[in-house]
Amino acid sequence: MSQPIHNPSLSDIQDHSTSSATFVVEPLRTGYGMTLGNSLRRVLLSSIEGAAIVAFRIEGATHEFTTVKGVKEDVVDIMLNLKNIHVRAHNEKPVEIRLEKKGAGTVTAGDIKLSDDIEIVNPDTIICTIDDPKTSIVMDFVVETGRGYRTIEESSNTRIHSDMIALDAIFSPVLRVRYKVENTRVGHATDLDKLLLTIDTDGSMSPRDAFEEAAAILINQYTALAGSTRVEAVAAPGTHADSGDTELMTPIEDLNLTARTTNALINNDIRTINDLVTLSETDLRELKGFGSKALDEVKDKLAEMEF
């Protein structure tokens, strides 16, 4: 009988900011770190749904190769600035929004009048600059949802209003994805992979949502190809599902931890080894009354017990 391929787990999420995080996936079969890392990266960069401005209109400007009276930037410069606006949409249908501003000063994305279906993630983004205090500017925009990249020709063919200027649009909320593979061990198994995948988004989607959507897309693609074939999967070696039930039910009090650490775990309703091993390092850090010394003590104890 062949040995089944074990499933990995998402062992930790390291949040660097609201738009950047590193996902730690382990333990993986040898070589699977590169396999999963590369496939997730490609999907994250090309296939995550997002929103973007796909067309706009400026009163007094009939095409992109012109200027707007009283405005410092020409229309081409304004087009480039519009591409830097990050949008979150709550409607799959195209949504029209408007900007109206009068008087000298900087016009930003925050000046756009929004509907309930649209949010601007970076409202400080500069659109243009009005030089003349008597000048007013009126702009209309169309926001659409999509995946990947749409050329300006495609936007021109699908635009709602023929008098609008089309934009090429980058819908993806994911700006950058990096990954590296490290060696890891679980118990006596020393030839396993650990994948560290770092995702940076534009703020319109959290890194965790992007990670989960990419994984779900890959599942759908592979399931469609697998047909009725199913491969047996088991828990990773050294994880709680791979260990004996008796040992997992060992009370926290029997681990010979310090009284402070033991009490902190029990006060957070963690009473057995099974309760403990289901928590990630991030979960442990968030426990009430559970400090870094207690975390180090627990990690050392679990390593000693080969969990």
pLDDT at 244: 46
For residue 30, which of 142, 190, 175, 177 has the smallest C-alpha distance? 190
Whole-model pTM: value is 0.72
Check whether 235 has a pLDDT greater than 90. no
Q: Average pLDDT for residues 275-282, to the nearest whole number? A: 78
Question: Using one digit for the tens of pLDDT, what is the confidence trace for 154-196?
Answer: 888 877 778 899 999 999 999 999 999 999 877 666 788 999 9
Which CATH superfamily includes the segment(s) 243-307?
A: 5' to 3' exonuclease, C-terminal subdomain (1.10.150.20)
pLDDT at 56 over 70: yes
Average pLDDT over the chain reads 87
SS3 51: strand
The pLDDT of residue 269? 79
The pair of three-digit structure tokens given for residue 140, joined into one six-digit string: 């209309």
Evaluate if residue 243 carries a pLDDT over 50.
no
| Residue 205 CA to its chain's centroid (Å) | 6
The domains of the chain are located at: 49-170, 243-307
Average pLDDT over residues 260-285: 81
| pLDDT at res. 300 | 85
C-alpha distances out from residue 122 to 3, 82, 108, 274, Å: 51, 11, 9, 44
The CATH architecture of the domain made up of 49-170 is: Beta Complex (2.170)
Name every residue whose Cβ is closer than 8 Å to that of residue 222 and which is 6 or more positions away in sequence. Answer: none
Q: What pLDDT is recorded for position 21? A: 96
- What pLDDT does residue 186 have? 72
- Determine the pLDDT at residue 188: 66
Q: 87-101, 214-228, 231-245, 270-284 — which is least confidently predicted?
A: 231-245
Q: Where are the beta strands (DSSP E) in 148-224?
A: 149-150, 165-166, 169-170, 174-186, 189-201
Q: For a pLDDT cut of 90, what percent of the chain falls above it?
A: 53
When pLDDT is averaged across residues 5-28 and rounded to a whole number, the result is: 90
pLDDT tens for each residue of 67-93: 899 999 999 999 999 999 999 999 889
Q: Quote the pLDDT of residue 50.
A: 96
79: left (phi over 0), alpha (psi -120 to 50) or beta: alpha
Interatomic CA distance for residues 181 and 109, integer angstroms: 40
- pLDDT higher than threshold 50 for residue 131: yes
Q: Count of CB atoms within 10 A of residue 154's CB?
A: 15
Report whether pLDDT(1) > 50: no
Say yes or no to pLDDT of 107 above 50.
yes
Residue 63 has pLDDT above 80, yes or no: yes
pLDDT at 145: 94
The residue-averaged pLDDT of 264-285 equals: 80
Predicted confidence at residue 157, as pLDDT, reads 82
